[in-house]
């Protein structure tokens, strides 16, 4: 089959045709079909819309569009009505008839479906909602507008124009320079300047001209879903970035592309697969792309779910068919990576930035963010960054902000603060091996270097907010155990170091901590961080080191006073009855699973500490605030 688009002129003609077909004034119902909304039942909702539209014979006037993740996952399923921009949240199939008959037919707003913030204010338009209003959505700009399974939608919003420009007007070296000048740094966590990497890979000798262009889509941080949403919502932006990369890094050689993607991301795999086939059919992948002579295709490689395979060398070993274990990078992968060929690996979000930089220019890109990258690509952090904002925060979801936005802006202005009137305690940035930052650092501008300075990291952009009910020692225990499980187990410092860190923290949580344990944790963390083979081990002690730094008093309380101020560590808390509040209602006695509560009706109850298992059920069921937790 011949490609439908063979030159840049073909592409522009095709774009005009697609744009003419779509009527921007035509009413559109956009249902978010991101993973979060799907889990809330978005597909059933979409089916209900489809049926209701056809029953009312409205399918020609009103189009129904399933889009990628809008980001406001807390309030899914989300429905946005275009061109008005009206946002309904937590929409159920039962609401559909009313929506069509009232809102669509008569323009009547259904109050209960509007977003209401913690202060009780309601908002009609999507772009007025503080969650969206305070963001800077450039990478996610089209996520809520286009159908990710339609290449026409992507082309209609200007897609593949940057590619055509690059192939027609720019030499490969110029593209590398442009990316270097833009200050784009690796979004997978390392923050290495992408342009510098591209140039090194281009300069590395390759006898047969093969250079591998890899997209690292092995996003594995608990609670992180930035890359997933980009692939599910706008897969062509990632593909376009990679094709531009192939030209810049490998033309006129033989570039070959891989996307290494988690098998646990079935929707992303599916949508990326569809997008790749569409790109091939259109002629954006394959031989002689847009008449430029560039030949390039991309293969999807599904990962088996090992966290460590997100590490670049382990990822390449895994593509080769071996167990995903990292190797030392004294010889860089840009020189000898996959199958010992020059290999350029970038993360999903990094690739998605590339077409934007080409389209809107270095000047625009460098106007966003921190520092000065005009002479030094490490001189700042430019562009935007997507964060997965989760945990104890009102508006969980995907958030895109300019580099340098403060933690406070992200957590309070966008995230809407901490729910339930509780107090903020810490925020962990950068995934499981990121650091936990205290309230005193809320005004820290978030960029690569600032986060590293305070003992955390950008990571791939996970952001977990914690309130006062989180025990920092218990939290460190959780992440150390996660990383001990996910370590590949190759090197002693990572495997055994994390095992022993886990044993010590567990002991502290169990009230068996020893005076010397805190120092031992600190010393062992240093060794794990400095003497391990790969970045997983090097960063794994961060949750411990940062909590030891910012929340040391909690460790000391656990060890010396055998107290857990957050009342999380069961061995360190006791439940007793507050006699003056107890009405003798028998409820706690009935619900106690270990028969630890005795007492008669209308007489004060008591808890047998020997039998109590600290499950907290008595406190949960008591209506008279008569249980004391200490």
Partner 1 sequence: MTVKFKIQGRTYTGTQEESLLGAIRRYGYEVPSLCYHEAVSPYGACRLCLVEVQKGKRRKLTTSCNYPVLEGIEVFLDTEKVVRHRKMVFQLLLAVAPAAKKLRELAAEYGVTETPFVPEDEKNECILCGLCNRVCKEVVEADAISFAGRGTSKRMESPYDETAEACIGCGACVHVCPTDCIGMKEENNIRSILRWHRDLPMQICKKCNRPFAPTFQLNEFAKRVNLDRARFDNCPDCR
Examine residue 328 and tell whether it contacts partner 1 (CB under 8 A): yes
Cis peptide before 83 (omega within 30 of 0): yes
How far is C-alpha 109 from the geometric centre of its chain's CA atoms? 33
Spatial separation of the C-alpha atoms in residues 146 and 154, rounded to whole Å: 7
DSSP output for 121-134: -EE-BGGGSHHHHT
Selected from 124, 301, 336, 527, the binder of partner 1 by CB under 8 A is 527
Q: What angle do CA 15, 367, 434 make, to 5 degrees?
A: 100
Stretch 77-136 residues interacting with partner 1 (CB under 8 A):
none
Give pairs for 321-324: CB < 8 Å, separation 24+: 323/488, 324/488
Q: Which two tokens stand for residue 195?
A: 């342009």
Check the CA dihedral 426-617-396-459 and report its sign: positive
Minimum distance from residue 292 beta carbon to partner 1 (Å)? 38
Examine residue 516 and tell whether it contacts partner 1 (CB under 8 A): yes
Minimum distance from residue 489 beta carbon to partner 1 (Å)? 3
Examine residue 312 and tell whether it contacts partner 1 (CB under 8 A): no
Examine residue 360 and tell whether it contacts partner 1 (CB under 8 A): no
Selected from 327, 332, 408, 563, the binder of partner 1 by CB under 8 A is 327
Q: Tokens 């490490």 belong to which residue? A: 378
Selected from 47, 62, 531, 586, the binder of partner 1 by CB under 8 A is 531
Q: To the nearest 10°, the Cα dihedral for 35, 41, 44, 48? A: -120
Minimum distance from residue 3 beta carbon to partner 1 (Å)? 44
Taking CB under 8 A as the binding criterion, the range among 156-164, 275-283, 471-479, 488-496 that sits at the site for partner 1 is 488-496
Examine residue 306 and tell whether it contacts partner 1 (CB under 8 A): yes
Spatial separation of the C-alpha atoms in residues 262 and 187, rounded to whole Å: 17
How far is C-alpha 521 from the geometric centre of its chain's CA atoms? 29
Selected from 27, 332, 360, 495, the binder of partner 1 by CB under 8 A is 495
Return the number of the residue (511 or 584) whose C-beta is nearest partner 1. 511
Examine residue 497 and tell whether it contacts partner 1 (CB under 8 A): yes
Q: With beta carbons less than 8 A apart as the criterion, state whether 382 and 353 touch.
A: no
Minimum distance from residue 506 beta carbon to partner 1 (Å)? 10
Please state the length of the chain. 630
Return the number of the residue (503 or 629) whose C-beta is nearest partner 1. 503
Minimum distance from residue 579 beta carbon to partner 1 (Å)? 42
Selected from 203, 503, 571, 578, the binder of partner 1 by CB under 8 A is 503
Taking CB under 8 A as the binding criterion, the range among 6-14, 104-112, 325-333, 376-384 that sits at the site for partner 1 is 325-333
Helix/strand/coil for 436: strand
Q: Residue count at the site for partner 1 (CB under 8 A)?
A: 35
Helix/strand/coil for 178: helix
Spatial separation of the C-alpha atoms in residues 17 and 40, rounded to whole Å: 36
Examine residue 308 and tell whether it contacts partner 1 (CB under 8 A): yes
Examine residue 492 and tell whether it contacts partner 1 (CB under 8 A): yes
Examine residue 487 and tell whether it contacts partner 1 (CB under 8 A): yes
Q: With beta carbons less than 8 A apart as the criterion, state whether 321 and 315 touch.
A: no
Q: With beta carbons less than 8 A apart as the criterion, state whether 450 and 187 touch.
A: no
Examine residue 578 and tell whether it contacts partner 1 (CB under 8 A): no
Q: What angle do CA 308, 309, 310 make, to 5 degrees?
A: 85
Examine residue 496 and tell whether it contacts partner 1 (CB under 8 A): yes
Minimum distance from residue 375 beta carbon to partner 1 (Å)? 18
Taking CB under 8 A as the binding criterion, the range among 170-178, 227-235, 448-456, 516-524 that sits at the site for partner 1 is 516-524
Spatial separation of the C-alpha atoms in residues 437 and 429, rounded to whole Å: 8
Selected from 63, 336, 406, 500, the binder of partner 1 by CB under 8 A is 500
For residue 589, the tally of other CB atoms under 10 A from its CB is 19
Selected from 401, 498, 518, 618, the binder of partner 1 by CB under 8 A is 498
Residues that bind partner 1 (CB under 8 A): 306, 308, 323, 327-328, 330-331, 484-493, 495-500, 502-503, 516, 520, 523-524, 526-527, 530-533
């Amino acid at each position: 089959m011949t490609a439908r688009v063979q030159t840049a002129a073909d592409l522009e003609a095709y774009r005009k045709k697609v744009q003419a077909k779509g009527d921007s004034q035509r009413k559109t119902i956009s249902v978010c079909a991101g993973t979060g909304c799907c889990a809330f039942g978005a597909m059933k909702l979409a089916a209900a819309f489809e049926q209701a539209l056809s029953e009312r014979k409205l399918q020609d006037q009103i189009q129904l569009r399933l889009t990628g993740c809008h980001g406001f996952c807390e309030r899914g399923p989300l429905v946005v009505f275009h061109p008005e921009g009206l946002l309904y949240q937590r929409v159920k199939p039962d609401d559909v008839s009313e929506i069509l008959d009232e809102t669509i037919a008569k323009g009547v707003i259904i109050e209960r479906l509007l977003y209401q913030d913690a202060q009780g204010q309601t908002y009609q338009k999507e772009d007025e909602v503080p969650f969206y209003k305070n963001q800077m959505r450039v990478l996610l700009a089209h996520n809520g507008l286009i159908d990710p399974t339609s290449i026409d939608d992507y082309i209609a919003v200007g897609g593949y124009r940057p590619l055509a420009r690059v192939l027609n007007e720019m030499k490969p070296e110029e593209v590398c320079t442009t990316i270097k000048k833009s200050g784009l740094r690796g979004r997978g966590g390392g923050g290495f300047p992408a342009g510098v990497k591209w140039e090194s890979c281009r300069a590395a000798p390759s006898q047969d001209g093969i250079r591998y262009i890899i997209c690292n889509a092995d996003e594995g941080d608990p609670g992180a879903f930035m890359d997933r949403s980009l692939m599910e919502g706008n897969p062509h932006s990632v593909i376009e970035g990679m094709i531009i990369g192939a030209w810049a890094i490998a033309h006129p050689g033989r570039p070959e592309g891989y996307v290494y993607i988690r098998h646990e991301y079935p929707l992303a795999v599916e949508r990326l697969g569809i997008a790749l086939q569409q790109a091939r059919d259109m002629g954006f992948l394959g031989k002689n792309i847009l008449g430029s002579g560039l030949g390039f295709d991309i293969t999807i490689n599904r990962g088996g779910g090992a966290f460590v395979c997100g590490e670049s060398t382990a990822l390449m070993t895994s593509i080769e068919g071996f167990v995903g274990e990292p190797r030392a990078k004294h010889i860089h992968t840009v020189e000898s990576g996959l199958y010992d060929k020059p290999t350029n690996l970038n993360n999903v979000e990094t690739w998605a930035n590339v077409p934007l930089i080409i389209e809107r220019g270095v000047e625009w890109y460098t106007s966003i963010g921190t520092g000065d990258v005009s002479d030094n690509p490490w001189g700042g952090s430019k562009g935007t960054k997507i964060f997965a904002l989760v945990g104890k925060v009102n508006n969980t979801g995907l958030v895109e902000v300019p580099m340098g936005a403060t933690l406070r802006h992200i957590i309070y202005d966008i995230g809407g603060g901490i729910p339930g009137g509780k107090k903020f305690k810490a925020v962990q940035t950068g995934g499981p091996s990121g650091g936990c930052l205290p309230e005193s650092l809320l005004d820290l501008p978030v960029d690569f270097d600032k986060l590293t300075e305070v003992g955390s990291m950008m990571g791939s952009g996970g952001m977990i907010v914690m309130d006062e009910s989180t025990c920092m020692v218990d939290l460190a225990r959780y992440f150390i155990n996660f990383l001990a499980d996910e370590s590949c187990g190759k090197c002693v410092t990572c495997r055994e170091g994390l095992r022993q860190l886990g044993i010590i923290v567990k002991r502290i949580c169990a009230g068996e901590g020893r005076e010397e344990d805190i120092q031992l944790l600190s010393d062992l963390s240093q060794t794990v961080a400095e003497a391990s083979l790969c970045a997983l081990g090097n960063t794994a002690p961060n949750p411990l080191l940062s909590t030891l730094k910012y929340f040391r008093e909690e460790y000391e309380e656990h060890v010396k006073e055998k107290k857990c101020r957050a009342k999380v560590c069961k061995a360190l808390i006791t439940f007793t009855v507050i006699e003056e509040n107890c009405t003798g209602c028998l409820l706690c006695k009935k619900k106690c699973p270990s028969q630890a509560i005795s007492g008669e009706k209308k007489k004060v109850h008591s808890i047998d500490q020997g039998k109590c298992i600290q499950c907290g059920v008595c406190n949960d069921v008591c209506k008279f605030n008569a249980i004391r937790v200490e």
